[in-house]
Structure 1
Amino acid sequence: MLAELKIENVAVIEKAEVRFTSGLNVLTGETGAGKSIMIDSINAILGNRTSRELVRSGAQKARIWATFEQIPASVRDQVERCGYGASDDLLLYREISADGKGSCRVNGMPATASVVRDISAGLLTIHGQHDSTSLTNPATHLGLLDQYAQNGALYTAYHDLYRELVTAKRALDALTSSEEEKQRRIADLTEEIDAIDAAALSPGEEETLLDRRSVITHAQGILDGLIAAHGALSGDDDQETPGAADLLGSVAGELANSARLDESLRPLSERLNELYYGARELATDLADRLDDYEFDPGELDRIEARLDQIYRIKQRYGATVEELLERRNKAAEELEGYQSSGKRIAELTQRKQELYRKAKEAAENLTQSRLKAFTQMNRQMREALEFLNMPGVRMALRHQRGPLASAGQDNVEFLISTNPGEEPKPLAKIASGGELSRIMLAFKSALADKDAIPTVIYDEIDTGVSGLAAGRIGQKLKQTAQGHQVLCITHTPQIAAFADTQLLIQKNVRDDRTYTEIHTLDLDGRVEVLARMISGDKVTDLSLANARELIEKSAH
């Protein structure tokens, strides 16, 4: 339960510390005193979206602390899974800066707002003063019915099958969406593969051909250079002109003779011999290259034709040779997929039929749980509404089975007849604001027996009711508070009289600044506040007596 709430610099509240008890906690005060700020503060501490407008004017930041005691085991497990330690108590902290930034803490450790929301989901639920109008929207009825049915396991079982069914259907639709488009794609892929195969491409071929074309194109210049180099080394036999190699040989012989007479010349003689033999070997190599340097007159034409073929297919598909080869492989894989799609279609069709059968069965289980839950809920709500001074109310469920959808096969709407003899009609056409408040309270009280959320907050559940109906609402809240902690904001003395703990939210003005204070009332304080709620500013002995009588009667 929510044990303590501390607030600093939140709107008109400079500083407040409130202790709550088990049972029914009632918050009373004049309109505009700051009761809604309490709800905003609790929403903030639970990790919900907030605004920097919540920060008190002139303050740098607003701060909120909340202590929960005897938290449910499911929440304790969630806290431990999130790494904040396991304990029966939980401390939440929220800070909101005037610049819009903020932070959260769980048991003193930093946390994100989403983590806080996950943890606090099982701690507290708030029924706002405008939530009753959600009953008039049929789109909310299925969710409300599922809350009462507590059919989460059945819903999960169905939804898992439904997702598999949707996946299988999409895959099947992709294969069978358009047979004409499929055949066109097969033709395109086949043409692409044949064109690339016909080109007989191989990695590196284009670069080799370009190099060879360059050699052939410059063949005469290359040949002239080879002849000149060979002639310079070997000389001209016809003109008996010695070449560089012969000259080196003669010089080497002369220097060898000199080296025999002077040993110091031997290294130079050896170096010159090396030059001579190198020149002779180079001349031989050049002669061999000249003998082999023959060109086929048609080779250049063949190279140009092949390069043109490669260029055209590259232009056609806008890719390099390597990319074309990769493209061909992917096209072949896709084509194989289309060619084997017949078998895949048969497999998917069978799987879709099997999943539909299972999902339909799971949907029917979900439907039965909902119908059974409505029967039980209707009985409880009829008793509760009769107690809340709405005798003769008859509820009905408009139910239709439709195609499978994410929430099952059910279309539901709550109908109501508020007078005997009238056919049930949609809530939006029948129920008044006060009736909607009591219907919602009846639903919440029925749900309280089902869920494990320890704290429920009602923000002005008494909207549109007074007199006997208000007193019955107070009694119903008191009954609900026997199994749950209930916090209720009210302007009605008949409800406030049933409080186990009554808090007064009071606004004061000091030094041109507004301050809101929260006080826990003793018995005399409760009597005075209730008397003021009964008679207004002029508290009389009679109103005090009426207030005391209300409190005494509510205790029995």
Structure 2
Amino acid sequence: MLAQITIKDFAIIDEVSLTFDDGLTVLTGETGAGKSIIIDAIQLLAGARASVEYVRHQAEQALIEGLFFIDSRSDSVQNLLEQFDVPVDYDEGSVVVERRITAKGKSICKVNGKLITLAVLKEIGRQLIDIHSQHETQSLMNPDSHINLLDNFAPNRLQQTKEHYKELYDELQSLRRKYDELSHNEQEVVQRIDLLTFQWQELNEANLEPKEDEQLEEERRQLMNYERIYEGLNTAYESLAAESHALDYLGHAMTALESLEDVNDEFKQLSQQLKTSYYSLEELSHDLRNRVDDLEFQPGRLDEIETRLFELNRLKRKYGLELNELMTRMAEMEEELEQLQNKDTHLQSLEKEIHEVQKDALTEAEHLHKLRQEIANDLSKAIQYELKDLYLEKAQFDVSFSTQSGPVAWRDQNIKLMKQGLDLVQFLITTNPGEPLKPLHKVASGGEISRIMLAIKSILSQHQGITSVIFDEVDTGVSGRVAQAIAQKIHGVSSQSQVLCITHLPQVASMADHHYLIEKDITEKGFTNTSVQKLDQQETIDEVGRMISGGELTETTTQHAEELIKQAASLKS
């Protein structure tokens, strides 16, 4: 849910901070008071494109911050946040979205403090907020999204088959890419063979060895510091082992303590500790002597190392790879050369493999198709029922299935296997008897669009996992019993998701669990400003009465408002 939003220097809003709760929240006010500006701000949190015109006059920037809380139904949000490396507080389940628009036109997006692109914010916002207006109904009015809405109606029935299909589809795409790369024209193949042959021979002649560069660097450091190493080792040896040096004195000390071993256990323990140290140092002195004897200065060897390192570094710079990666690249070149030189054989093998994987993918796609048809039948019945509640008894809803033409033979046609399967899904509806079913987005009447959208939203809201649903004047063009039906349906949606609704209908306002009044006034400095006030019980009655009368509040309209709110409370309970 959207728990809080803060808006600063945005359009005609100086500063507004709103706190929202579960259930149905309505925002009312006179036309032009700034209700839609609030929705514009929320849309920016959902990834809408910003404009410098949003920045308040004489302000440096506009700021919108939103605090969302996500619940267990919002796994998709958490998965997206993890996918884009956005930090998540799983204990609180909070998501903070921030948008800044500067007066110079720059737009800054942050989620939980992490800078993200607008495209990423749009992905996340799509899971947080679903906005519906008279002219924009987002996913419901976008035919491309209908297949996802259908799948979300019964996700558990499709999950296993979709996972199997995705694995096969990804494998099929990979094989097709390999086939396309291998089946380039002859001239490109010849050029590629020449290039790979030259590169492989160059690397092969270099006789690369694992970690050779590291070993040579170490040897070079020793040769360049020969005198320091010799001096240090020799001095250390002589200090330990030469006459009248460390080991001689330690030997005298060891003999002295040995003479006390029979006195008590404490002296015996001290004697043993000294013996251990003496023998360790004696062994160390032998090791130092051997290292000194093994040292050999080879001026020619240093030149050899410098030449070899120069060649290795040249190859690493040329190919942009480290030494171990160069050796791996050689093996890849060898494999690719073999494929190109025996292209026809490999193409035949890939064709066979593509055919087998495509056959399996088509089987899973057919299974998906059958399951979707069953789910579409259930969805159509459920939406049909909702439409009757909204006084569209004659309306007919259906889900159409089609395919995209492509290279795969299926049921006497050639189709294309797509990421979602073989189906193209579109919602169809007709509201008048005798009229044919038409695509949902082509339904003309505004009042019908509102009711159809509400019917579909009532069914799908519990499956989509959207944290907040926003209705922006979707009740335009309706009145009477239809207005009351829409009010009840909007409140019904709020039982599954938080709902924010801008409305001019008293029937909808009376169903609210929380009511905000939006007003416009002139500040002392002469600027227009939009303010928002949360209404108490009596203020709600007065506002609903004003909406009923359309102007002056009278005793009659107040009584009517009280009765309407009382009736709404009864319907809600």
Please give the TM-score of this superposition, normalised by the length of structure 1: 0.66
1:445 and 2:458 equivalent? yes
| C-alpha spacing 1:14/1:346, structure 2 compared with 1 (3 Å) | same
| The one of 499, 519, 531 aligned to 1:506 | 519
Report Cα offsets for 1:455-497 as digits up to 9, x if no partner. Answer: 2111122133222112111101111111221111111111111
| C-alpha spacing 1:343/1:508, structure 2 compared with 1 (3 Å) | same
| C-alpha spacing 1:546/1:189, structure 2 compared with 1 (3 Å) | closer
1:545 and 2:553 equivalent? no
Partner of 2:32: 32
Partner of 2:507: 494
Q: Tell me by how many angstroms 1:13 deviates.
A: 0.8
Q: State the superposition RMSD in angstroms.
A: 3.5
Q: Is the 8 A contact 2:28 2:504 kept in 1?
A: yes
Counterparts of residues 57-206 of structure 1 (less than 5 Å): 57-69=57-69, 71-72=71-72, 74=75, 75=77, 82-88=86-92, 89-107=94-112, 109-113=113-117, 116-117=121-122, 120-132=125-137, 138-150=143-155, 151=158, 154-155=161-162, 157-172=164-179, 182=186
Larger Rg: 1
Q: Name the CA distance, whole Å, in 1 between partners of 2:447 and 2:566.
A: 26
1:535 and 2:549 equivalent? yes
| C-alpha spacing 1:393/1:359, structure 2 compared with 1 (3 Å) | same
Q: Is the 8 A contact 1:133 1:436 kept in 2?
A: no
- Matched to 1:349, the amino acid is E
Q: Tell me by how many angstroms 1:69 deviates.
A: 3.7
Q: Is the 8 A contact 2:34 2:518 kept in 1?
A: yes
Q: Tell me by how many angstroms 1:452 deviates.
A: 2.0
Q: Name the CA distance, whole Å, in 1 between partners of 2:338 and 2:81.
A: 53
Give the secondary structure class of the aligned counterpart of 2:463: coil
Give the secondary structure class of the aligned counterpart of 1:361: helix
Which 10-residue stretch deviates more, 449-458 or 84-93? 84-93
| The one of 385, 398, 405 aligned to 2:417 | 405
Report Cα offsets for 1:412-441 as digits up to 9, x if no partner. Answer: 333323244555344466552211111111
Contiguous gaps of at least 5 residues in structure 2: 199-204, 206-332, 405-414
Report Cα offsets for 1:390-420 as digits up to 9, x if no partner. Answer: 1132222332355123232123333323244
Give the secondary structure class of the aligned counterpart of 1:50: coil
Q: Is the 8 A contact 2:130 2:138 kept in 1?
A: no
Figure out how many residues of one structure are paired with residues of the other and give that number: 416
Which 10-residue stretch deviates more, 366-375 or 433-442? 366-375
Q: Is the 8 A contact 2:146 2:426 kept in 1?
A: yes
| The one of 530, 536, 549 aligned to 1:522 | 536
Q: Name the CA distance, whole Å, in 2 between partners of 1:185 and 1:93.
A: 50
1:55 and 2:55 equivalent? yes
Report Cα offsets for 1:513-532 as digits up to 9, x if no partner. Answer: 21101011112212222222
Q: Name the CA distance, whole Å, in 2 between partners of 1:397 and 1:43.
A: 29
Q: Name the CA distance, whole Å, in 2 between partners of 1:477 and 1:76.
A: 27
| C-alpha spacing 1:172/1:525, structure 2 compared with 1 (3 Å) | same
| C-alpha spacing 1:6/1:344, structure 2 compared with 1 (3 Å) | same
Q: Name the CA distance, whole Å, in 2 between partners of 1:141 and 1:105.
A: 30
Q: Name the CA distance, whole Å, in 2 between partners of 1:345 and 1:42.
A: 53
Report Cα offsets for 1:225-249 as digits up to 9, x if no partner. Answer: xxxxxxxxxxxxxxxxxxxxxxxxx
Q: Tell me by how many angstroms 1:137 deviates.
A: 6.1
| C-alpha spacing 1:463/1:94, structure 2 compared with 1 (3 Å) | same
Partner of 2:12: 12
**Same amino acid, percent of matched pairs:** 38
Q: Tell me by how many angstroms 1:176 deviates.
A: 5.9
Q: Is the 8 A contact 2:134 2:446 kept in 1?
A: no
Q: Name the CA distance, whole Å, in 2 between partners of 1:14 and 1:188.
A: 65
Q: Is the 8 A contact 1:136 1:426 kept in 2?
A: no
- Matched to 2:146, the amino acid is H
Counterparts of residues 58-457 of structure 1 (less than 5 Å): 58-69=58-69, 71-72=71-72, 74=75, 75=77, 82-88=86-92, 89-107=94-112, 109-113=113-117, 116-117=121-122, 120-132=125-137, 138-150=143-155, 151=158, 154-155=161-162, 157-172=164-179, 182=186, 337=339, 340-402=342-404, 403-406=415-418, 407-420=420-433, 422-427=435-440, 431-457=444-470
Q: Name the CA distance, whole Å, in 2 between partners of 1:17 and 1:338.
A: 65
Q: Is the 8 A contact 1:135 1:436 kept in 2?
A: no
| C-alpha spacing 1:8/1:152, structure 2 compared with 1 (3 Å) | farther
Q: Name the CA distance, whole Å, in 1 between partners of 2:416 and 2:539.
A: 58
| C-alpha spacing 1:349/1:14, structure 2 compared with 1 (3 Å) | same
Q: Is the 8 A contact 2:88 2:95 kept in 1?
A: no
- Matched to 1:500, the amino acid is D
Q: Name the CA distance, whole Å, in 2 between partners of 1:388 and 1:442.
A: 8
| C-alpha spacing 1:413/1:25, structure 2 compared with 1 (3 Å) | same
Please give the TM-score of this superposition, normalised by the length of structure 2: 0.64
Q: Name the CA distance, whole Å, in 1 between partners of 2:343 and 2:53.
A: 60
Q: Is the 8 A contact 1:71 1:90 kept in 2?
A: no
- Matched to 1:374, the amino acid is A
Give the secondary structure class of the aligned counterpart of 1:450: helix
Which 10-residue stretch deviates more, 389-398 or 467-476? 389-398
Q: Is the 8 A contact 1:77 1:86 kept in 2?
A: no
Give the secondary structure class of the aligned counterpart of 1:555: helix
Q: Tell me by how many angstroms 1:382 deviates.
A: 0.9
Q: Name the CA distance, whole Å, in 2 between partners of 1:92 and 1:186.
A: 51
Report Cα offsets for 1:333-389 as digits up to 9, x if no partner. Answer: 999655523321221121111111111022113212321221121121111111111
Q: Is the 8 A contact 2:14 2:530 kept in 1?
A: yes
| C-alpha spacing 1:21/1:333, structure 2 compared with 1 (3 Å) | closer
| C-alpha spacing 1:172/1:534, structure 2 compared with 1 (3 Å) | same
Partner of 2:238: none
Q: Name the CA distance, whole Å, in 2 between partners of 1:553 and 1:364.
A: 51
Runs of 4+ that moved beyond 6 A = 184-190, 331-336
Give the secondary structure class of the aligned counterpart of 1:130: coil
